[in-house]
Amino acid sequence: MTVTQEDRDRLDRDGYLVLENFVGERLLRAIRERVDELFRVEGERAGAEFKQEEQTQRLANLVDKGDVFEQVIAVPEILERVGYVLGPQFKLSSLNVRSANPHSTWVQPLHADMGALPDEKGYWVANTVWMLDDFTTENGAIRMIPGSHKWGRLPQDALPDPMAPHPQEILLTGKAGTVVVMNAHMWHGGTANRSDKPRCAMHGFYARSDKPQQQYQKRLLRTEVQQRLSPELRRILALDDPRNDELSANAGRTSGFLK
C-alpha cells in the first residue's frame, strides 16, 4: 500500500486519512488481549506514566509492555503516511491507549496535540488512531475540525469555549481495525461515551526529529527491552540519537511540555 495522490490530497485538505479494515484479525485480537491484560494488572495505576483522565482508562509507555506494540509502531504503510505529514525525519513520540468509559459525560476540549503550532519547517506532530472497538456516534468517537491544521491557531486561543460544539466538526466513526493517520495540528477531541460499553483506541503519536518526544522513550524503556530491539526500531524510538537526549532533557525542565 503506497501513498496515493488521494491520500496526499486528503491529508493536505482535511488533515486526516482513514484506512478502513487496515488491521488484520489476528493482530487486532493480539492488541486487544494485551490491552485488556494490562488494564487488569495495572488497575488504578494505569496510565500514570503519562496522565490519567476522568471517566476514561488510559495506558502509557506501551512499547515497554509487549512485543505486539513493537510491531505496530513500525508498520511501513503507516510510517509512509506519517512521513508525508512530517517529512522524512521523525520518531515515535508516545504509544498510549485511551478507553472512554460507558455512560460518561466527559467531553475533551478541542485541542492540537502538544499544543503545537506549525513552525518555519512546517508540521511537526502526527497521530495515528487505531480503532480497537467500533467508533460510533454514540460511544465517544473523536470530533475533528477538517482543515483546521492550516489555520495556524490553537482552539483555546481562538474559541470562547473549546468544549462547546463547533459548527464545522465531524465525528470520526469506523469499524474496529480501522487506522486513522492525522495531522495532529488539526483541532480534535474525544466525545462522551453514551453507550453501555467502553470505546477503546490506541494512539501511536509521532514527532519530527528536531522536537522532543512526548514520552522520553530512552528513559522509560527497560534495559532488556532496549537491548532486544532491532536497529530499525531503535531508530524509530530515537534511542541512539544524542540530539533527542538533549531535546527531551531540556523539555522536561520547561513548562510541562511533555505533559
CA distance 159 to 189: 14
Answer whether residue 252 shows pLDDT above 70: no
| Environment class of 97 (CB within 10 Å of its CB; exposed 0-12, middle 13-18, buried 19+) | buried
Length of the chain: 259
What radius of gyration, in Å, describes the C-alpha atoms of the chain? Answer: 17
Of the candidates 137, 122, 147, 135, the one whose C-alpha atom is nearest the C-alpha of residue 211 is 122
Q: Record the pTM.
A: 0.94
Please tell me which residue, 15 or 248, carries the higher pLDDT value.
Answer: 15
- Residue 221 grid cell: 524503556
Distance separating alpha carbons of residues 116 and 154, to the nearest angstrom = 8
Average pLDDT over residues 173-195: 97
CATH of 5-252, one of 3.40.50.10490, 3.90.1150.140, 2.50.20.10, 2.60.120.620: 2.60.120.620
Residues 209 and 223: their CA atoms lie apart, in Å, by 23
Q: How far does CA 151 lie from the centroid of its chain?
A: 21
List, in sequence order, the alpha helices (H) in 87-192: 155-158
114-159 confidence digits (pLDDT tens): 999 999 999 999 999 999 999 999 999 999 999 999 999 999 999 9
User: Do the beta carbons of residue 145 and residue 186 sit within 8 Å?
Assistant: yes
Cell digits of residue 117? 503550532
Kindly report the average pLDDT of the chain as a whole number. Answer: 94
Q: Which three cell numbers stand for residue 165?
A: 460544539
In which residue are the cell numbers 494485551 written? 34
Residue range 25-52: mean pLDDT, rounded: 95
- Annotated domain spans of the chain: 5-252
CA 83 to chain centre: 15
194-208 pLDDT, tens digit each:
999 999 999 999 999
pLDDT band for position 1 (50/70/90)?
A: low
Cα 68 to Cα 12, 52, 227, 236: the distances in Å are 31, 23, 17, 16
Which pLDDT value is given to residue 138? 97
Residue 256 is predicted with a pLDDT of 32
- Which helix or strand (DSSP H or E) is residue 79 part of? helix 76-86
